[in-house]
Amino acid sequence: MFDKERIAEIKKEKERWEQTTLQDWTKQCNERKEDFRNTSNVSIERLYTPEHISSLDYIHDIGFPGEYPFLRGVHATMYRGRLWTMRQFSGFGTAVQTNQRFKYLLKEGETGLSIAFDYPTIMGYDSDHPMAQGEVGICGVAIASLRDMEALLDGIPLDKVTTSMTINGPAAMLLAMYVAVGDQQGVPRGNLGGTTQNDNLKEYFAQKLCIYPPKPAVKLTTDIIEYCTKHLPRWNPISISGYHIREAGSSAVQELAFTIYDGITYVESTMKRGLKVDDFAQRLSFFFASHNDFFEEVAKFRAARRIWARLMKERFHAKNPRSMWMRMHVQTSGCTLTAQQPLNNVTRTTIQALAAVVGGTQSLHTNSFDEALALPSENAVRVALRTQQIVAHESGATQTIDPLAGAYYIEALTNKMEEKTFEYIRRIDEMGGAIVAIEKGFFQKEIADSAYKYQREIEEMKRTIVGVNDYKIEKEETPIELLRVDPKVEKEQLANMHELKQERNKKKVEEVLGKLRRSAEKNENLMPVIIESVKAYATLGEICEELRQVYGEYKELIII
Amino acid sequence: MTKAEEIAEGIFAGNRRSIARAITIIENEEPEAREIVARVYSHVGKAHVIGLTGAGGAGKSTLIEKMVKEYRRRKMKVGIVAVDPTSPFSGGAFLGDRIRMQELSTDSEVFIRSMASRSHLGGIARATKDAVRILDAAGKDIVIVETVGAGQSEVEIIKVAQTIVVVHAPGLGDEIQAIKAGMMEIADIFVVNKADRENADKAVIDIQSNLQMNSKESPWKTPVLKTTALTGEGIPELVEKIEEHRCFLEGDPECRKMSMRARAEAELVEAIREKVTSSLIEELKKAGRFDELIHEIMERKIDPASAAQRLLRKSVENET
Amino acid sequence: MEKTRKIRVLIAKPGLDSHDRGAKVVARALRDAGMEVIYTGLRQTPEQIVETALQEDVDVIGLSILSGAHKTQFPRIMQLLKDQELTDVMVFAGGIIPQEDVADMKRLGIKEIFGPGTPTKDIIRYVMKNLPKRN
């Protein structure tokens, strides 16, 4: 972007500066650290100048929003045209309670729904399963059957609202229930919009909510991608996730690289079914975390877009530009929230939200300040939503597209993230792909080492966490109202289930479950028969158990 | 009753607390250890001891879990000793083998114990042998010893197990050439796990030809079996083959006695070696010059072998 | 031969909670401090945890839970430990356990609760200092 001569001059001038002005300064006062590093282990330099980006070509490497390589954004007008979707992940207790929280959020200005399910639901257990005792409705909403889904979405127009469902192992079942409710509301299937997380690969080394072993899990994920491509064109069948990888302790570049590799794996598995990349790639979506190092995060989001665009074009030969879009949802980081002096978390969330916006996200969830202590209270979640609204309307970050482009630091860091990501991609390719890497414990070891290193840095005071290892206060005050899930929820849910099992047509349920098993044994796409099963009011647990019989259960490989 | 007697009685009754405490006592060389081992020894000999080894990622733990389920189906009682390495830096250990067998925890006829190799260099804990005896005396029909897949040190397992199963999985980067020397020789049964993989059949053929080339004089021909531990395929056949090996060992009375004799001799030699080493080092320390020589070694004034020579010569001189 | 009394610790994840970052970091720190650490993996029932503690003859149990289900899981675990006469084992807990529940948990017999932000060296120090005498 700069001519060689000018760069040489700048270099000379910088050397002069270092030997005079800088030296005078550092004689009086040393720098605070010997080495400033970010989480991706990139050594951050004192100063970034045009030298750092001299090899970049604006047109080919940076380009224009809405055009390859999409570094500056997937849409041509970005937030000047339309703000990101403010989508707060929520759910607790019974379907009725969560339905109320949804309505509250929509009233306060949320623009899309995001459902958090309870642990039994996520693991494919009904609320009356022995493993579910004490867990029903505690971390999310309990959905054991279509009847619960009907209550959850009561009064919510599925042709006007898009919904994201954080569900992986039983994603097909929950999607089937959503489709069934859409059918009941009379919404054409082609108009149903939303996302199922449905990213089973990362479960094995990050979120750990695995039911079946890797091969059948990838098959189920691909079933959903295939089905949506053909029948639910507005639905994002998958949200390829890095958030959980980061929360498990990875660095920013590991989050980026492992997520993208999972994406590569899913593209390959879908193409193996005979679909052409341009048939389905435009509906693949991504999900990242946003952490405290503002600049590292912005570089990460930007690099993600360019890396994915390049992969889709060069590795998968996509022709349609839309296939090269990386559309992302971002959630501010949960693991950076502290239990100590919780109000500080509002500041953290704000920095993280701003990074996501400056980084060009399509959708954003902001955590509430009390989330290191409990699920968010109504007041706290309102503050979280307001944070997004203040960033949107008061910060000026949305006035122009990709505001930090061209900043020497940002472009240098973006390049570095891309370089390191491609290095990881090469390594995992050589290993034989994601499933082999999982079996060898590669991802698990990388993440465990990063997590341990992070903890050591905190304990050795090489990394400050305000309020935790420094700037502590004698007596902590807990914010007054913490959300507590009423233990009656479990009793209520058990009663609901009992009622359902009495009222439904048992014979029909038996028949359809048999059909499901046979279909699974024949390795067919299971979505149609799963939709049939939920409509017959087979429970989530019954459907998942049928598949456990066919696929087996996964036991994890532990690397600390 | 002495404490050791009480514990021994508990072991014979199959009491899990007694078994657990006994293994700890032996690991820590507490005062009761010797008496417990002595008391238990006469009750030993009924269990069939299986050694299971192989590189990491081969699926040993998953395989064991399925094997145990098969043994339980046949109403047999099982003990498992899972050995993991002690960190040479910290002296601590992460014992994670039972994770994949946790479902078996609540089966009262299955006992799982995780052991760290501690100071024993062979890759298998000294106390493992005694732990196996305790499980044997407690009435287990089968005792499985699972060890770290580090290769060379797996030869140690011979001293403990009667049937040695070596597990290999294709496509994990360690092809046949990489199967450590010694593993081929010690295997009574070779298992190619994850047999649903592409190169599984090739792995079987490669191992078979390798075994033929290195075939010993033994009348037992090491078979190569295929399993898919995840689904349970091949497990009943593996269990049958182990049983076949057991019969082979017992069926030929000479063969059985020979292996028992060889094992007894090896154990006696090992016990003598341990005793001699530890009491000799004590003596040398008392006689002086031990610390001095250590400093000289650190300052590179003398090498360890020569230092040892000097100490031992001095000790002999002092004797005469 | 040197006598090595190694401290054996069981780190357990009761219930369906799948957040294991903390449990793994603590397990590794304890290992690096010279202890033998048995980790159960995720999704353990109280029966599995107590049976493991029994068979492995551990000195210490560390329970990690972030799902809010401690009020159901912990009482059951502590009762089973009593039933199996394992009351000489030291039990501590960590994760997300609200301040207002701490007193109840301690009354059950849980010696200490290490909340978010606790340095691992505090846990190590506590274990070493309060090691139970085994009978």
DSSP percent split of chain C into helix, strand, coil, nearest 5: 40, 20, 40
Q: Are residues B116 and B132 both part of a single domain?
A: yes
pLDDT of the residue at C29 = 97
Residue B278, pLDDT above cutoff 90: no
Extract the tokens encoding A222: 């691909």
**Contact residues, chain C to chain A, C-beta under 8 Å:** 15-21, 24-25, 27-29, 31, 39, 41-43, 45, 67-69, 71-73, 96, 98-99, 115-117, 119-121
Name A475's Cβ contacts closer than 8 Å, sequence gap at least 6. Answer: none
Q: What residue in B sits closest to A440 (Cα-Cα)?
A: B57
Contact A73, A96 (CB under 8 A): no
Write down the CATH number for the domain with range A63-459. Answer: 3.20.20.240
Cα of C127 vs its chain's centroid, Å: 10
Count structural domains, chain B: 3
Q: Are residues B181 and B217 both part of a single domain?
A: yes
Residue C1 confidence class, pLDDT cut points 50, 70, 90: very low
Question: Scanning the structure block, which residue is given the tokens 């076949």?
Answer: B244
Q: Which of C11, C13, C20, C21 to mutate to test the interface with A (most CBs of A within 10 A)?
A: C21
Q: Are residues B36 and B108 both part of a single domain?
A: no
Q: Are residues B33 and B73 both part of a single domain?
A: no
**Contact residues, chain A to chain B, C-beta under 8 Å:** 213, 431-432, 436, 439-441, 552, 555-558, 560
Cα of C85 vs its chain's centroid, Å: 17
Chain A with chain B: Cβ pairs closer than 8 A: 27
CB-nearest partner of A552 from B56, B100, B231: B231
Give the CA dihedral A148, A151, A156, A158, nearest 10 degrees. 30
Contact A260, A212 (CB under 8 A): no
Residue C37 confidence class, pLDDT cut points 50, 70, 90: very high
Residue A502 in 3-state DSSP? helix
Residue B109 confidence class, pLDDT cut points 50, 70, 90: very high
Q: Which of C68, C65, C72, C69 is nearest to C94 (CA)?
A: C65
Extract the tokens encoding A119: 């642990």
Domain boundary among B222, B251, B280: B251
Chains that touch B (3 or more CB pairs under 8 A): A, C
Q: Which of A428, A456, A555, A559 to mutate to test the interface with B (most CBs of B within 10 A)?
A: A555
Binary contact (A248, C67; C-beta < 8 A): no
Contact A372, C96 (CB under 8 A): yes
CA–CA distance, A505 with A536 (Å, rounded to integer): 7
Q: Are residues B204 and B311 both part of a single domain?
A: no
CA–CA distance, A203 with A201 (Å, rounded to integer): 5
Q: Is C83 on the interface with B (CB under 8 A)?
A: no
Cα of A343 vs its chain's centroid, Å: 25
Q: Are residues B176 and B274 both part of a single domain?
A: no
User: Residue B65 falls within a domain, yes or no?
Assistant: yes
Question: Scanning the structure block, which residue is given the tokens 């047509």?
Answer: A505
pLDDT in tens, A525-555: 999 999 999 999 999 999 999 999 999 888 8
CA–CA distance, A91 with A97 (Å, rounded to integer): 8
Q: Residue-wise pLDDT tens for chain A (560 aa)?
A: 789 999 999 999 999 999 999 999 999 999 999 899 999 999 999 999 999 999 999 999 999 999 999 999 999 999 999 999 999 998 889 999 999 999 998 999 888 899 999 999 999 999 999 999 999 999 899 999 999 999 999 999 999 999 999 999 999 999 999 999 999 999 999 999 999 999 999 999 999 999 999 989 999 999 999 999 999 999 999 999 999 999 999 999 999 999 999 999 999 999 999 999 999 999 999 999 999 999 999 999 999 999 999 999 999 999 999 999 999 999 999 999 999 999 999 999 999 999 999 999 999 999 999 998 888 888 999 999 999 999 999 999 999 999 999 999 999 999 999 999 999 999 999 999 999 899 889 999 999 999 999 999 999 999 999 999 999 998 887 766 788 888 899 999 999 999 999 999 999 999 999 999 999 999 999 999 999 999 999 999 999 999 999 998 888 878 88
Question: Scanning the structure block, which residue is given the tokens 């054996």?
Answer: C8
pTM: 0.89
In angstroms, the separation between the Cα of residue B244 and the nearest Cα of chain C is 31
Binary contact (C15, A340; C-beta < 8 A): no
pLDDT of the residue at A551 = 92
pLDDT of the residue at B253 = 67
Residue B81, pLDDT above cutoff 60: yes
In angstroms, the separation between the Cα of residue C9 and the nearest Cα of chain B is 10
In angstroms, the separation between the Cα of residue C48 and the nearest Cα of chain A is 12
| Class of domain C8-129 as given by CATH | alpha beta
Question: Scanning the structure block, which residue is given the tokens 């320390």?
Answer: B285
Q: In this prediction, what percent of chain B has a pLDDT beyond 90?
A: 38
Q: Are residues B96 and B1 both part of a single domain?
A: no
Could you tell me which residue, B286 or A529, shows the higher pLDDT?
Answer: A529
Q: Which of A450, A471, A469 is nearest to A460 (CA)?
A: A469
On chain C, the residues whose CB falls within 8 A of the CB of B119 are 2, 4
Range of the domain at B315: 266-319
Strand order in the sheet with A113-115: A89-90, A113-115, A163-165, A194-196, A235-236
Domain boundary among B191, B226, B251: B251
What are the φ/ψ torsions at residue B285 (nearest 5 degrees)?
-65, -40
Q: Are residues B173 and B60 both part of a single domain?
A: yes
Average pLDDT of the residues of chain C: 93
CB-nearest partner of A134 from C41, C73, C98: C73
pLDDT of the residue at B311 = 80
CA–CA distance, A103 with A90 (Å, rounded to integer): 11
On chain A, the residues whose CB falls within 8 A of the CB of B62 are 555
pLDDT of the residue at C66 = 92
CB-nearest partner of B99 from A441, A552, A558: A558
Extract the tokens encoding B193: 């796990």
Cα of B108 vs its chain's centroid, Å: 23
DSSP chain B: --HHHHHHHHHHTT-HHHHHHHHHHHHTT-TTHHHHHHHHHTT-S-SEEEEEEE-TTS-HHHHHHHHHHHHHHTT--EEEEEEEPPPTTTS-EEE-GGGGGGGGGG-TTEEEEEEE-TT-TTSS-HHHHHHHHHHHHTT-SEEEEE----SGGGGGGGGT-SEEEEEE-TTSS--GGGSPTTHHHH-SEEEE--TTSTTHHHHHHHHHHHHHHT--S-S----EEE-BTTTTBTHHHHHHHHHHHHHHHHHSHHHHHHHHHHHHHHHHHHHHHHHHHHHHHHHHHHHS-HHHHHHHHHTTSS-HHHHHHHHHHHHHHHH-
User: Which residue blocks in chain C are alpha helix, DSSP H?
Assistant: 21-32, 46-56, 70-83, 99-108, 120-129
Extract the tokens encoding B100: 């994949």
Q: Which of B98, B68, A248 is nearest to C12 (CA)?
A: B98
pLDDT of the residue at C2 = 39
CA–CA distance, A454 with C117 (Å, rounded to integer): 12
CB-nearest partner of B99 from A436, A552, A555: A555
Q: Is A299 on the interface with C (CB under 8 A)?
A: no
Binary contact (C21, A335; C-beta < 8 A): yes
CA–CA distance, A60 with A74 (Å, rounded to integer): 15
Q: Is A451 on the interface with C (CB under 8 A)?
A: yes
Q: CB count, 10 Å around CB of A188?
A: 10
What are the φ/ψ torsions at residue A181 (nearest 5 degrees)?
-70, -40
On chain B, the residues whose CB falls within 8 A of the CB of A555 are 62, 65, 99-100, 102
The domain segmentation of chain A, as residue ranges, is 4-53, 63-459
Length of chain B: 320
Q: Which of B16, B86, B105, B135 to mutate to test the interface with C (most CBs of C within 10 A)?
A: B105
Residue type, A303: A
Contact A94, A493 (CB under 8 A): yes
Extract the tokens encoding B170: 């294709």
Binary contact (C44, B102; C-beta < 8 A): yes
On chain A, the residues whose CB falls within 8 A of the CB of C48 are none
pLDDT in tens, B252-272: 766 666 666 766 787 788 788
CA–CA distance, C91 with C127 (Å, rounded to integer): 10
Residue B210 confidence class, pLDDT cut points 50, 70, 90: confident
User: Residue B256 falls within a domain, yes or no?
Assistant: no
Q: Which of B230, B231, B235 to mutate to test the interface with A (most CBs of A within 10 A)?
A: B230
In angstroms, the separation between the Cα of residue B75 and the nearest Cα of chain A is 23
Extract the tokens encoding B180: 């450590």
Q: Which of A168, A389, B112 is nearest to C51 (CA)?
A: B112
Q: Are residues B32 and B50 both part of a single domain?
A: no
CB-nearest partner of B112 from C37, C44, C55: C55
CB-nearest partner of A432 from B100, B171, B231: B171
Q: What residue in B sits closest to C53 (Cα-Cα)?
A: B20
Q: What is the CATH number of the domain that holds B203?
A: 3.40.50.300
CB-nearest partner of A556 from C42, C67, C115: C42
Surface-to-core class of residue B202, CB atoms within 10 Å of its CB (0-12 exposed, 13-18 middle, 19+ buried): middle
Average pLDDT of the residues of chain B: 84
User: Residue B91 falls within a domain, yes or no?
Assistant: yes
pLDDT of the residue at B123 = 45
Kindly report the three-state secondary structure assignment for every residue of A400-469. Answer: CCCCCCCCHHHHHHHHHHHHHHHHHHHHHHHHCCHHHHHHHCHHHHHHHHHHHHHHHHHHCCCCCCECCC
Extract the tokens encoding A441: 């414990």
On chain C, the residues whose CB falls within 8 A of the CB of A374 are 68, 96, 98
